[in-house]
């Protein structure tokens, strides 16, 4: 699926949106500007909030830049803000809250990476224009001085915003040398805003892709999460692959572009994956869910085991046996390297490993026992598994697609019926450990665990039993062990 090109913005519309947003935030920005002005300091709303005001999407987070050093900023905020805190004094940033507004104020600064550094050297700057030049893209290099509300746009950000283009204030090589993470931010903003990335920026990203390796895994992870949660992640992911950045931050993705054999005996796995991601986002919205990283990343990673498992058969077919298991292992490895939490790693890897399970359902031949196991194995990822499994159908054969959809509808209906009857979400044996020890006359140990597992399997196979039925089954099993 190609990404739709959005029409340019009209400057008149931009000006109208800004006027509306400024009226909404006027009490905060004007009061704050007056406090700094009275102290002989400069203050300007800057970056994302200015850009988002022009797009009509300003949130409650306000970023400012100032001539004041952090100690002065902190003093000026106290007595005015509801709360003040140190967000990063070494980087010149003080945070505050005023009513519903979250505020960050950072001293004019410049920051430069050397060839091997993972952290910037920070120096305070002495002008607003100099501060704006160090920013990543021209659409983020605009400022609104307060309290006078004068727009400062020395690098043509408003024209680039109107044209929906991402450019850098200086040369892209200079910008990406200062902070290589900006290359990923280009992909992220493209996905978030639907903007095109200027050709010279793409060229610099391609030439300097290996520079991303000096950035910490945590910062790379955070940008990747924002990209995946964007309205059009395909746009940003395709840019990462095109420029070679993906080979460093998510190498499993470009690896999906398998070399096609001359007879085209298998799908383009890379293209299939991007379609599955898009379809999972559509289902996420249709089913009333907020943007969900775990669900989307599982869609992105669900077939990463295919390159390792591809086999050409004598009859001309291609197989990918066990790519679900291999893919889950690769997913765990990649997410650990990107410093994701254990809970996130477990959730995504489990979904990757389970994504083929439904295809054993056939036309509904599963027993109730098999349905219970499907629910048990999915655990709290069941709804995400529903979305991933449905999204994984990318066939152009309408009849086949309709059949798969109806079959999964049937499975979900059976799960709902059994859940209502048996509380599937909390399946456990009909007897607990204390009851098992009491009935068998034994103390804590391995035998209790074995008995518990037996009763759980019995519950999955045959559904819930009465206490007497469970007791009789347990005693029969115990007697048969001797």
pLDDT tens digits, residue range 205-251?
999 999 999 999 999 999 999 999 999 999 999 999 999 999 999 99
Better pLDDT: 8 or 98: 98
Checking if the pLDDT of 75 tops 70, the result is yes
User: Residue 311 corresponds to which tokens in the numbers above?
Assistant: 């086999």
Per residue in 101-132, pLDDT (tens digit) is: 999 999 998 655 565 555 656 678 789 998 99
Per residue in 179-196, pLDDT (tens digit) is: 999 999 999 999 999 999
Backbone angles phi, psi at 415, to 5 degrees: -60, -45
Burial class (CB within 10 angstroms; exposed 0-12, middle 13-18, buried 19+) of 9: middle
CA distance 193 to 235: 10
Q: pTM for the whole thing? A: 0.82
For each of the domains in the chain, give its residue range(s) and CATH number, in order of start: 1-162 (3.30.460.10), 171-250 (1.10.110.30), 260-426 (1.10.3210), 433-481 (no CATH)
CA distances from 35 to 81, 143, 381 (A): 12, 18, 51
* Contact yes or no for 222/340 (Cβ under 8 A): no
* 272-287 average pLDDT score: 95
* Contact yes or no for 302/276 (Cβ under 8 A): yes
């Amino acid at each position: 699926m190609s990404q739709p090109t959005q029409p340019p913005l009209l400057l008149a519309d931009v000006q109208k949106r800004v006027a509306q947003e400024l009226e909404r935030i006027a009490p905060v920005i004007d009061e704050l500007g007056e406090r700094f002005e009275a102290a002989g300091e400069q203050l300007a709303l800057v970056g994302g909030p200015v850009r988002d005001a022009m797009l009509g999407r300003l949130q409650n987070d306000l970023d400012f830049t100032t001539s004041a050093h952090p100690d002065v900023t902190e003093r000026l905020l106290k007595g005015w803000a509801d709360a003040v805190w140190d967000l990063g004094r070494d980087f010149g940033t003080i945070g505050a809250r005023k009513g519903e507004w979250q505020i960050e104020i950072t001293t004019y600064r410049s920051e430069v990476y050397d060839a091997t550094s993972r952290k910037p050297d920070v120096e305070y700057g002495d002008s607003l224009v100099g501060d704006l030049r160090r920013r990543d893209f021209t659409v983020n290099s605009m400022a609104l001085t307060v309290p006078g509300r004068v727009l400062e746009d020395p690098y043509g950000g408003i024209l680039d915003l109107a044209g929906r283009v991402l450019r850098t204030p200086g040369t892209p090589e200079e910008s990406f040398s200062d902070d290589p993470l900006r290359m990923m931010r280009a992909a992220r903003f493209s996905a978030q805003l639907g903007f095109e990335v200027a050709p010279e920026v793409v060229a610099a990203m391609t030439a300097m892709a290996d520079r991303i390796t000096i950035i910490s895994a945590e910062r790379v992870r955070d940008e990747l999460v924002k990209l995946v949660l964007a309205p059009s992640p395909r746009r940003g992911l395709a840019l990462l692959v095109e420029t070679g950045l993906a080979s460093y931050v998510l190498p499993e993705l470009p690896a999906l572009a398998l070399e096609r054999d001359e007879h085209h005996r298998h799908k383009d796995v890379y293209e299939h994956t991007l379609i599955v991601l898009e379809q999972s986002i559509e289902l996420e919205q249709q089913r009333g869910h907020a943007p969900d990283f775990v669900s989307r990343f599982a869609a992105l990673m669900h077939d990463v085991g295919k390159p390792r498992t591809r086999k050409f058969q004598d009859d001309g077919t291609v197989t990918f046996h066990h790519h679900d298991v291999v893919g889950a292992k690769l997913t765990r490895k990649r997410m650990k390297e990107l410093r994701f939490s254990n809970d996130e790693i477990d959730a995504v890897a489990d979904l990757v490993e389970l994504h083929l399970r439904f295809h054993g359902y056939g036309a509904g031949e599963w027993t109730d026992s098999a349905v219970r196991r499907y629910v048990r194995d999915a655990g709290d990822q069941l709804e995400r598994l529903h979305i991933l499994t449905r999204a994984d159908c990318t066939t152009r054969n309408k009849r086949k697609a309709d059949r798969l959809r109806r079959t999964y509808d049937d499975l979900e209906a059976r799960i709902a019926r059994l859940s209502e009857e048996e509380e599937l979400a909390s399946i456990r044996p009909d007897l607990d450990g204390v009851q098992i020890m009491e009935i068998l006359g034994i103390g804590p140990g391995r035998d209790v665990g074995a008995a518990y597992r037996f009763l759980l399997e019995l519950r999955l196979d045959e559904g819930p039993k009465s206490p007497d039925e469970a007791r009789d089954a347990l005693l029969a099993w115990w007697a048969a062990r001797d």
